[in-house]
Amino acid sequence: MSGDFRERPETLAAQALGWVEPATRSVVPAIYPSTLYERAPDGSYPGGHTYTRDENPTYEQAESLLNRLEGGDGALLFGSGMAAATTVFETLDVGDHVVAPEQMYWTLQRWLEELAARGRIALDIVPNGDLAALEAALRPGRTKIVWIETPANPGAAITDIAEVSEAAHVAGARVVADSTVSTPVLCRPLEHGADLVVHSATKQLNGHADVLAGAVVTARRDALWERLVHDRAYRGAVLGPFEAWLLLRGMRTLFLRVPRSADSALRIAGRLASHPAVRDVRYPGLPSHPGHAVAARQMSGGFGMLLSFRPRGGAAAAKRVAGALRLFRNATSLGGVESLVEHRAPVEGPGTRVPADLLRLSIGIEAVEDLLEDLDRSLAP
C-alpha cells in the first residue's frame, strides 16, 4: 500500500509489492543465500532471523506477495506442493478423520490412503462437489480436515467452496483448498470460507517449469498456523533461496500468463467439444460442464489452464493422439508457459480412478491457433 490507495493485485504482483532493497536501492529483490544470521553482543538477533530452516528474507518476499494475492493472514513456502500438503496433514493426531475428494492430485490421495491403511488417520473419499455425500461422511468433532481441490486435477471437477466450508465448519472441521489450478488470479478460496489454501507453486504460480515449490496460506494466525510454522522449521520442508527468488520472479507475470492460458483453454475446449473424434471434454468454462455454474460464481477472469478430453477409440486412441501431438509436449505436470499433454491413467497405474482414455492438457501461452492446428492434425483419422 502507498499513499491513500490500495494497489490492485496486478500491480502488487508486477512490482513484487514494490520492495526496494534499502542499502543499494536495488529494484530487483536480492537473493539471500545465507543459512545463518549474526547475533548481537547481547545474544539477540537484531536482523530478526536466526537460521534459514526457520526463515529467510528471500522466502518472505514471495510469501508476502502470495499472502496479499490470496487475501490471507500469513503464507509459508515449502520445498514442494507435496511438502506443503503433507505438513498440513502431519498436524493431525492419530485417528483424526479426513474427508477428501475422489478427484484430486493423485500422489496426495495415494499418500492419504497409505496413512489410513497404517491406522494413522480415518479417511473417507467422496465424489467432488457432492454435498450430501460430504455431509454423510462428516463425523462432528472427529473430522479435522475436509480437503478440496477446485478445479481438480485431472478432470477439472468443481467444488463449491462456500457450501463445503459451511458444512465442514458446523462439524468442527477445517477446509483446506488446493487451489493450484486456479491460482489467486482466478479464485481466492479464503474469501469463500476456506481456512487454508495450498498450492503446488511448481505449477502456474512459478509458471516456467523450473522450480519445485509449495505454499500454504492461512485465513488467520491461529494455533494451527503456529503449528505449521513450527513444523516447517522442525521438519525442514523448506526450499532454497534461489528457488524462492525464481518463484517470486515468476509470480510477477502471473496476471499476464493466467488469463492468457485460460482464454486459450476455453477456445480449445470449445473446439474439442464439437470435434467428431472426441467423445467427452471436461473444462469448467464449458456450459455443459456439471460445475460450470459454481465455477462461474466463485472464479473470475477465466476457468484455468487445465482441461481433459477423451478421444473416440479408447485407450489406444488416447495413446496415439498423445504421441502424435507435436507442439504439446508429452510430459507430466502443468501450469508452465508451454502446453503439455499427458495420457493420465497409465501414469497413475493400477487403482486409478481416471478413465483409461483420458488425456490431460495444460495450456500454455503459445499462439492458440497453433495449438488448435496441432490438435486437429493429431485427431485426424
Burial of 254 (0-12, 13-18, 19+ CB in 10 A): buried
Q: Looking at 9, 72, 81, 207, which residue binds ligand PLP (CB under 6 A)?
A: 81
Where in 170-199 is the site for ligand PLP (CB under 6 A)? Answer: 178, 180
Q: List, as one string, the DSSP characters of 281-295.
A: EE-TTSTTSTTHHHH
* CA dihedral angle for residue 150, residue 152, residue 153, residue 156, rounded to 10 degrees: -110
Q: Which is nearer to ligand PLP, 17 or 104 (CB)?
A: 104
Stretch that binds ligand PLP, among 80-88, 90-98, 155-163, 283-291 (CB under 6 A): 80-88
Stretch that binds ligand PLP, among 76-84, 250-258, 317-325, 341-349 (CB under 6 A): 76-84
Q: Hey, what amino acid is at 316?
A: A
Q: Helix axis angle, 106-117 relative to 81-89, nearest 10°?
A: 30
Radius of gyration over every alpha carbon of the chain, rounded to an integer in angstroms: 21
Q: Looking at 87, 103, 200, 264, which residue binds ligand PLP (CB under 6 A)?
A: 200
Where in 41-70 is the site for ligand PLP (CB under 6 A)? Answer: none
**Nearest residue to the partner ligand PLP, using Cβ:** 81
* Other beta carbons within 10 Å of 270: 15
The label of the residue with cell 495413446 reads 319
Q: Which is nearer to ligand PLP, 74 or 151 (CB)?
A: 151
Q: Which is nearer to ligand PLP, 190 or 197 (CB)?
A: 197
Q: List, as one string, the DSSP characters of 43-90.
A: S--TTS--BTTT--HHHHHHHHHHHHHHT-SEEEEESSHHHHHHHHHT
If one asks whether residue 96 binds ligand PLP (CB under 6 A), the answer comes out as: no
d(CA 285, CA 288): 9
If one asks whether residue 80 binds ligand PLP (CB under 6 A), the answer comes out as: yes
Binding mask 136-165 for ligand PLP (x = CB under 6 A): -------------x---x------------
> Which residues have a catalytic role annotated?
53, 105, 178, 203
Residues that bind ligand PLP (CB under 6 A): 80-82, 105, 149, 153, 178, 180, 200, 202, 212, 214, 333
